Amino acid sequence: MKPKVILNAAMTLDGKIATKTGSSEISGPEDLLRVHRIRKEMDAIMVGINTVLEDDPRLTIHKIPSKPEDNPVRVVVDSKARTPPEYRILSHDAPTIIAVSKEAPLLRVKVLEEDGKAEVITCGDTQVDLGCLMNQLGDKGIKTLMLEGGSTLNYSMLKAGLVSEVRVCIAPMIAGGNQAKTLVEGDGVDYMKDAFRLKFKKSYNLGEDLIVEYGVL
């Protein structure tokens, strides 16, 4: 059984999740606490390789009181096994799964598996097959997963019909820039009738930010 996936992100009022330089300090301190509370509820948290390379995230619970066992499993979608072995995502603070394709170099895979840094699973020929990945995660007992991906992975997960819920923090700022990253990119749809449809669940203010939550139809 595939895990329930919650896409969570922070964006500016004009839909940007990062500037053209990669700057992504968007939400306020209250939202950071919200994110860590959600992490504590999840079995796993997932990002793409670009997020790892750009941000070197820990993806642990460190903003609220917690125990080491509260940390969710960290999942990285990394078709070519490019995760640097010295990055924080491979610390022993929490277990890490790296999802690769059959084209991932075996030497890189072995380095990632050394000393129990990560469990590497293979899904797909040239790119990670996200449906296959969700099935494998479900088989490992992962029932809930928070997607903290970038715009490309967000689109791919939505396109594959693997997202159950969307939670977005909208910050009171406008970034602009036609090269700035938006919440969802990828190929997009040609017609609005084909847009991903959402059902409003709730909204509330959090500090200066606005949190909105939707179910995915």
Amino acid sitting at position 147: L
Per the structure, the complete domain to which residue 140 belongs is given by: 4-216
Total count of domains within the chain: 1
Would you state the structure tokens that stand for residue 78, as one six-digit string?
A: 């990394």
Per-residue pLDDT of the chain (217 residues; tens, 9 = 90+): 999 999 999 999 999 999 999 999 999 999 999 999 999 999 999 999 999 999 999 999 999 999 999 999 999 999 999 999 999 999 999 999 999 999 999 999 999 999 899 999 999 999 999 999 999 999 999 999 999 999 999 999 999 999 999 999 999 999 999 999 999 999 999 999 999 999 999 999 999 999 999 999 9
**For position 188, which CATH number holds?**
3.40.430.10
CA distance 75 to 189: 27
Which pLDDT belongs to residue 187?
95
Reference 156, options 194, 189, 130; nearest CA is 130
Which pLDDT belongs to residue 204?
98
Which pLDDT belongs to residue 199?
98
Which pLDDT belongs to residue 95?
97
Which pLDDT belongs to residue 137?
98
* Secondary structure class of 127 (helix, strand, coil): coil
- Runs of H (alpha helix) within 114-209: 130-139, 151-159
Reference 28, options 202, 166, 210, 182; nearest CA is 210
Q: What is the pTM of this model?
A: 0.96
Which pLDDT belongs to residue 126?
97
Which pLDDT belongs to residue 7?
98
